[in-house]
Structure 1
Amino acid sequence: MPLLENHLAVVTGAASGIGRAIATGFAREGARVVLLDLNVRGAAEAAQEIRDAGGKADSFALDVTRREDCIAVARKIAGEIGQVSVLVNNAGINRRNAFTADEGAVIKDWQDIMAINLNGVFNVTHAFLKPLCASKGRIVNIASIQSFVHVRTPNSPAYTASKHGVLGFTRALAAELGREGVRVNAIGPGLIETPLNEQVRTTNPQLVQTFLDHTPLGRAGKPEDIVGPALFLASDLSAYVTGSIVMADGGYRTI
């Protein structure tokens, strides 16, 4: 029996990269998936690919920074599709300005990153809270190795702070929602080759090498490397797991 049969899973930031891979993997395991993204075309194309492969998928536009929009899309899904039982908070951005960079850039980085990476996780989770409690659902938040460390490459301190926040939010919700039967966990990716970091990987190969030199497996990850951990945390395989983070970083944090 497929791991996620009879589940309705919502994935944010699902137009590309990790979110798209997770949505596709969930559909292969029997879930009906709803792909949410500001990139409407990308999300629609990904949903169509899932349907073409025999899966069940829908897509909607969503700006996770807009609380009202999160509430509206949650109501739309409840009315038109069904009761959500799995939520993956994947939408996120990164910037690489140092704290000592141009003041305007640093302030904008902080505001933009926190709005999407942390406030967005709150907005979406709160919007879907009732169906998740009703279904004794599962929440999977995409954290980072930077939920623990600030990596030794050009990187915005706002990103590190936001991902520390995602892990703290995960643990707080796990403690509170466990009595409702809702499990809340996180995944901590290392360097994953996605469109989000494609430009910096192309223009700054030394940055990539710095990561690889610190990664025992000696390679960058692919979006598909995050699918297995996500399936584990969303399925009954992890029925007694909550408040945890599964690291998918090639061993980065071991050295």
Structure 2
Amino acid sequence: MSVLDRFKLDGKRALVTGASRGLGLQMALALAEAGAEVGITGRDAVSLKEAADTIRSRGRKAWTFQGDMSKPAECEATCEAALAEMGLIDILINNIGERGMNVKIEDTTLETWQHYVDQNLTSCFLATRIIGGAMLRRPEGGRIINTASISGMIANKGIAGRHYETTKAAVIHFTRCAAADWAPYGVRVNAICPGLFMTQPNRKWAENNPEVIKTFVSAVPMGRAGEPEELGPLAVFLASDASSYVTGSTFVIDGGYTIW
């Protein structure tokens, strides 16, 4: 097998959560271009259909599963539906998560805290338990990629909403724990920690908080924010046989921001 052949995902089936737009969609498209058939989850039926049509334009089969993964019961039901409809799932990308509210610790209500714990962390756990648990029961194992964040490694300057940093840090360590437990079963678990990527929510954030974005970008050695499509190749690497000896690792992709 050639080096490039090891990146191919022909015959594989992947589920990417939160993939109707942004980084999730770009990772789903990258997997499709590498040969995988792809299922995606999202809250909005219209954007889900548009995303699935884009995947199909790459010549791949696509499934859509509408559900709010921040609600544990709905997250469980969505994952069970994906397993029932797709059958074997070889690759899971847990991509749900957002900062949402820019609120100080002292002003954070328990309701807000719990909402983002469920959205950013519990959704990752439930999908891993359900989809990853099914991978354990077959000899070929599987691959799980958790979208964490460099915010799980640092405390961002000038930005509130510490529920985000806290939950993303937990995702990173959950990745290590799952990788340790499941390596003997052929299930590899890794995390991606993106820096600032100009997704639709971050473009809106830049409009409302231009100085915060300007300050952040000024601290990036490469001098710019990332574009969403730049994340796709890393997802393909972790989903493919090219990373066959990689598990429990955290991959930072931030233009060098965390070098300092």
- TM-score scaled by length of structure 1: 0.93
Alpha-carbon distance in structure 1 between the residues aligned to 2:75 and 2:217: 37
Query: Are the aligned partners of 2:105 and 2:160 in contact in 1 as well (CA < 8 Å)?
Result: no
Pair 1:96-2:99 in alignment: no
Secondary structure at the residue paired with 2:180? helix
User: 1:210 offset after TM fit, Å?
Assistant: 1.3
Matches within 5 A, 1:56-67: 56-67=61-72
Match of 2:27 among 22, 26, 43: 22
What is the match of residue 117 of structure 2? 114
Q: CA RMSD in A?
A: 1.5
What is the match of residue 201 of structure 2? 196
Does the C-alpha gap of structure 1 residues 77 and 112 become closer, same or farther in structure 2, counting only changes over 3 Å? closer
User: 1:106 offset after TM fit, Å?
Assistant: 4.1
Superposed CA deviations along residues 7-28 of structure 1, whole A, max 9, x for unmatched, are: 1100001011000101111111
Match of 2:169 among 134, 140, 164: 164
Match of 1:139 among 122, 137, 144: 144
- TM-score scaled by length of structure 2: 0.92
Query: Are the aligned partners of 2:17 and 2:96 in contact in 1 as well (CA < 8 Å)?
Result: yes
Alpha-carbon distance in structure 2 between the residues aligned to 1:154 and 1:65: 22
Pair 1:126-2:129 in alignment: yes
For 2:104, the aligned partner's letter is A
Unaligned 5+ runs, structure 1: none
What is the match of residue 205 of structure 1? 210
User: 1:238 offset after TM fit, Å?
Assistant: 0.5
What is the match of residue 258 of structure 2? 253
Superposed CA deviations along residues 62-100 of structure 1, whole A, max 9, x for unmatched, are: 222344434433333333322001000001111211213
Query: Are the aligned partners of 2:132 and 2:144 in contact in 1 as well (CA < 8 Å)?
Result: no
Query: Are the aligned partners of 1:22 and 1:226 in contact in 2 as well (CA < 8 Å)?
Result: yes
For 1:164, the aligned partner's letter is A
For 2:50, the aligned partner's letter is E
What is the match of residue 173 of structure 1? 178
Alpha-carbon distance in structure 2 between the residues aligned to 1:21 and 1:89: 13
Unaligned 5+ runs, structure 2: none
What is the match of residue 60 of structure 2? 55
Secondary structure at the residue paired with 2:14? strand
How many positions carry a matched residue from both structures? 252
Select between 107-116 and 184-193 the one with higher mean Cα deviation.
107-116
Alpha-carbon distance in structure 2 between the residues aligned to 1:34 and 1:123: 17
Alpha-carbon distance in structure 2 between the residues aligned to 1:218 and 1:242: 31
Query: Are the aligned partners of 2:71 and 2:118 in contact in 1 as well (CA < 8 Å)?
Result: no
For 1:97, the aligned partner's letter is V
Superposed CA deviations along residues 135-171 of structure 1, whole A, max 9, x for unmatched, are: 4100000011111101112121110000100001000
User: 1:55 offset after TM fit, Å?
Assistant: 1.9
Secondary structure at the residue paired with 1:166? helix
Alpha-carbon distance in structure 1 between the residues aligned to 2:246 and 2:103: 36
User: 1:129 offset after TM fit, Å?
Assistant: 2.5
What is the match of residue 77 of structure 1? 82
